[in-house]
Structure 1
């Protein structure tokens, strides 16, 4: 069995719906050899990263940057797992009220330092809320789990 970790900051109803969509996608019946856990950035830490085979990050755009919660997760986890999890498959979704550029750049910088491997370009959900965001994040969760399930990454 492989394990997908979803670390998602979800301070609002809409962002909680997105984290649930990611898990729903990753938990579809067609996925046979992957388990999935969703944690907030405050709940997750180095031990969770060590135990996973892939990670999906979710964050809001806060003042042109990632959420403080996700930054805290990285602050607590970066050095403890730096040498252990190089090449970890990862993906990211950003719920951005404006454009998400600063948020994406900040997370990409940290992921580059960790030497994790992007398996899909970051998904930025821009502007006013759209119900289509739910389907996009669910698809991202499915993509991550299917890739692990089929040994693609």
Structure 2
């Protein structure tokens, strides 16, 4: 058992590896081929950006995120954001994968810095209009 704080641990203790070398010889026989025929693209994986210049209520934000994760957590491949929480001088940062996410308080907003909340989702077939409507309702 290893005790860690905020995930800080020497990777060799976890993985028993000697590191990853980007310059390693990959061998001469490797070829690359497209996964889909040229000219065709998959529209399933998309990104969605939500923005607000209004401070967010933490309770309403939690309800919005919990509902989003419950309904679409398996579709949320990656998401992250920097949030302006009402009555809070610090930025809230968060990130997640699928239904797993974490958040923490960051530095205070700088003098003159625009206090804007931005959330970015990368997802598989996400109902964009429904989520935008839910976010707009949460912002008020």
TM-score (norm 1): 0.31
**Rg larger for:** 2
Q: In proportion to residue count, which structure has more helix? A: 1
Indicate the structure whose relative CO is greater, using CA pairs within 8 Å and at least 6 residues apart: 1
